Every structure is written in C-alpha cells, then in structure tokens.
C-alpha cells in the first residue's frame, strides 16, 4: 500500500485564479480510495498516496479504487482535511450537459416546486451538498447572485458557475467571495470576484417587507435567507407586543415583526455597527419605527434583568458559535448562557424563539440545554445577593414547535450533516 496523502506535503503553490468548468481529459490525475461512499467529502485519511500524475490544488481528478476502476470525479485540495470534494459519481466526467442539468434542477426546485418568486425575490439557489454541489452556496438578491465558496476547486470555478446560473435565471450581476474560514480550513485566501457593474447594494423583498443587501463587508452572502419562513411565522405572534431581537444583524426579525406583525415596540441588539446601520435603513425603507442598540448581548441582557425589564416576545439568533469540534464544549456553554439570560427577559406566558446555526450542535443537545436553561432561569429581577440576582424557581417552559431552515436550503440524504439550523419556539410561564 502506498503512503497516505497525509504524509505527502504539498509543495505546489495554491492558485486562486478563476478557471473554466471544462478541463481536458489528458490533464486529469487519479486519486486512489477504497470506495466512494455516499458523502461527497473525501478526507485525507481515506486516500492512498498523492494524485498520479501530480495535480495542482483545485484540479479535477478521477477517483479510482485500488484495482484502478473509475468511481467518480472531484476537485482535489491536499492542503485541506477534505482532500477531495466529489462532483460526479460514476464513469462520466462532469461535462457541459451535466453542469446545465445540475444548475437547472436546482432552479426548478425554487421556481416550479417552491414557487418562491411569488413571495420574494431573494432566496438560495444553490445549497452546497443539498444541491449536489459541495463547496459553494449561491443566493439570489433580485438581479444579483451572491456566492460564498468553501472549497478551493469551487472558488476557482465560481465565476463560471455564476455566469452559467445567471443565464438560466436571468440575473444581471454576480459576486463571489471565499468563506470566512477558508484560509484555515482549505489553505487559500482568495479575494472577492465580481461582475463588472456589480451594484454596491440592492433592495429586495419577502412577503412585502423590504431589505437592503450590502455586497461589500456583509456576512456570508449578504442576508440570511434560511430564516425567511421563521421571520414570517414570528409575525403571527407579535401584534401589539413588545419584541426584543437579540443578535439582530440587519434587522430581519425586527422589521418583519413590526411591518407584518404589527408589534407595538421592537428593539434590536447587535455588536456590529455596520449591520445596525443597514437595519436602521431597513426600518426607514418600510416606514416603521424600531430601536436598534449596538451592544454585546451578554451585558445588555444582564442590564435588562437588573432593571426588571421584560418583553412579550424575545428572538435569540446568535452567529455560529461552534465552527469545529474543538469549539463544541465552549460553544455549547455559550448557547446555554445566552438562553438562560434570554429566558429571564420573557414575560410570563411570553414567547422565546431560540436559534442555533451550529451544525455540530445536535438537535437533542440543543433541546437538552434549553431544558436545563429553563431550570436555571429563575435568577432574576432585583438585587438580593452579591451578584445582584434573586434565586427563584425554574420557569415553566413549553416547546410549541421546532423549525429549521427554509426549504430552499434542502438537505441531501447523502449528507445529512448539512441540516444545520435549529429553531425552538417556546412559551415561558412564571
């Protein structure tokens, strides 16, 4: 057996220049594995030896077994733990017809099945493994496509994919950027690439509510389409209510609660100044009044608790707190602490919507920490000890329902790990 790829450090430079989707067959290298399996991710420990002949990071390679039987095709990156991202299984390489069918099938889901253009002009068109295109996500914002690439091979071909997809859906502009942790995880740091006349921002709508999307400096692709249906559902609970939106980003839940839900009072809290500036602009776009506060949510919630402040509806939607398994314990504790504090801010018989976008936090563990947090949420409301809290009994908590990402974020049976977003809707008693 040949030495593992793990023991073969890569010396070739990592190129981030854009490449075409098609690649001459005589340029392909072979990568040997035991079997293909269901997951599109092939880790280094599964590979026998370096590509033969040698391949540059991001090259299309042929996957073969130890008897040299062809298993499929993928993009190689020996600098990453995910050494190959499988693009197509079987004997046929990904050709023009394959790429057209892959992208057209994804569009049909959003347009013909989900009928999203009837209610919004912003939605996810490509959801990585959920659409059999591991390593890239693409959102549509009106006439603009915004992509985030997590794999080197897909970043190198992002422009070609975006231009092809734009022709299919009739979009005019596009922007491609690497994911936030690609340098650490994939060994490359690429600069954003965009179409010549990319606008600085666009205004989109969902269910009649307007939002401005900034393409320079925004998180991820610019907006969180995965919370669309949760934003709409929240509006059913906010009429005449006071609403606190924690980690509000650009005000998605806040604006929807006020515009569609007729909330009496809305306060959004976020640490970052730039998203809050956009959130205030979104309130103006929709001719609604909302209060946005720049603050770390931990001290903000503690201050509200000391001041005996409570709200009818509280939304807790923190950023990703667990990026890898090394962060699992600490990230879980932070989720627990956030929820323990947030529960103290909910009026009796009020609603808490608590979310987690950390895929490594399993559903059962998320529910377990919510149950535990409700038992400890009695530390509240007025000075009593050295910490300023008075011990009370646990808060009665009922989980009304659990939801996840909107259906334009499908989960493939070949990669259930991509089912990342969890949202628990809770009624809290006294």
For the chain of 430 residues, list the mean pLDDT of each consecutive stretch of 10. Answer: 37 76 72 93 92 91 94 93 95 93 98 98 97 96 96 96 97 93 85 94 96 76 89 98 97 98 98 94 97 97 95 97 92 96 96 96 95 80 46 78 97 92 94
Nearest residue to 153 via CA among 215, 206, 88, 231: 88
Q: Which CATH number fits the domain that encloses residue 182? A: 3.30.750.80
What pLDDT does residue 219 have? 55
Same domain, 147 and 254: no
What pLDDT does residue 181 have? 81
* Count of domains forming the chain: 3
Same domain, 310 and 281: yes
What pLDDT does residue 216 have? 73
In a domain, 344, yes or no: yes
In a domain, 174, yes or no: yes
Could you say which DSSP state residue 307 is in?
T
Same domain, 306 and 420: yes
Q: Which CATH number fits the domain that encloses residue 57? A: 2.30.130.10
Q: Which residues contact 402 (CB under 8 A, 6 or more apart)?
A: 363, 422, 423, 424, 425
Domain final residue pick, 171, 202, 233 = 202
CA distances from 75 to 30, 86, 106, 237, 285 (A): 11, 7, 21, 47, 43
CA distances from 233 to 225, 283, 284, 404, 408 (A): 14, 19, 22, 12, 16
In a domain, 212, yes or no: no
In a domain, 136, yes or no: yes
Nearest residue to 100 via CA among 167, 24, 149, 194: 167
What pLDDT does residue 218 have? 56
Same domain, 78 and 111: no
Residues paired with residue 292 on neighbouring β-strands, in sequence order: 268
Same domain, 30 and 122: no
What are the structure tokens assigned to 284, written together?
Answer: 């103006």
What pLDDT does residue 82 have? 94
| Structural domain boundaries enclosing 185 | 96-202
Q: Which residues contact 39 (CB under 8 A, 6 or more apart)?
A: 414, 415
């Amino acid at each position: 057996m040949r030495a593992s790829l793990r023991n073969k450090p890569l010396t070739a430079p990592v190129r981030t220049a854009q490449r075409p989707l098609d690649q001459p067959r005589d340029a392909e290298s072979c990568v040997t594995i035991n079997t293909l399996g269901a997951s599109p991710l092939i880790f280094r420990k599964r590979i026998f030896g370096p590509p033969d002949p040698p391949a540059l990071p991001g090259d299309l390679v042929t996957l073969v077994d130890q008897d040299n039987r062809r298993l499929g095709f993928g993009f190689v990156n020996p600098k990453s733990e995910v050494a190959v991202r499988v693009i197509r299984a079987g004997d046929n390489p990904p050709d023009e017809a394959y790429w057209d069918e892959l992208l057209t099938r994804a569009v049909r889901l959003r347009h013909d099945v989900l009928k999203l253009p009837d209610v919004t002009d912003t939605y996810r068109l490509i959801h990585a493994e959920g659409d059999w295109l591991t390593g890239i996500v693409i959102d549509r914002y009106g006439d603009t496509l915004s992509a985030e690439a997590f794999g080197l091979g897909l970043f190198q071909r992002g422009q070609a994919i975006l231009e092809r997809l734009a022709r299919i859906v009739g979009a005019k502009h596009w922007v491609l950027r690497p994911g936030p942790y690609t340098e650490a995880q994939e060994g490359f740091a690429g600069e954003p690439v965009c179409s010549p006349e990319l606008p600085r921002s666009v205004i989109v709508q969902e269910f009649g509510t307007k939002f401005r999307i900034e393409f320079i400096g925004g998180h991820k692709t610019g907006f969180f389409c995965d919370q669309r249906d949760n934003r709409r559902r929240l509006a059913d609970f906010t009429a005449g209510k006071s609403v606190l939106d924690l980690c509000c980003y650009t005000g998605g839940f806040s604006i929807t609660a006020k515009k569609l839900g007729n909330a009496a009072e809305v306060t959004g809290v976020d640490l970052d100044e730039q998203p809050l500036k956009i959130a205030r602009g979104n309130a103006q776009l929709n001719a609604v009044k909302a209060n946005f506060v720049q603050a770390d949510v931990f001290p903000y919630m503690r201050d509200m608790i000391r001041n005996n402040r409570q709200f009818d509806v509280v939304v807790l939607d923190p950023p990703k707190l667990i990026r890898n398994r090394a962060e699992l314990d600490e990230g879980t504790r932070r989720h627990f602490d956030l929820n323990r504090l947030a529960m103290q801010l909910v009026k009796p018989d009020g609603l808490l919507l608590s979310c987690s976008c950390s895929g490594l936090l399993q559903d059962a563990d998320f529910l377990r920490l919510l149950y535990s947090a409700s038992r400890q949420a009695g530390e509240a409301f007025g000075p009593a000890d050295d910490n300023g809290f008075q011990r009370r009994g646990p808060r009665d908590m009922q989980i009304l329902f659990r939801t996840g990402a909107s259906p334009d974020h499908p989960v493939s049976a070949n990669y259930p790990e991509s089912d990342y977003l969890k949202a628990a809707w809770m009624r809290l008693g006294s």
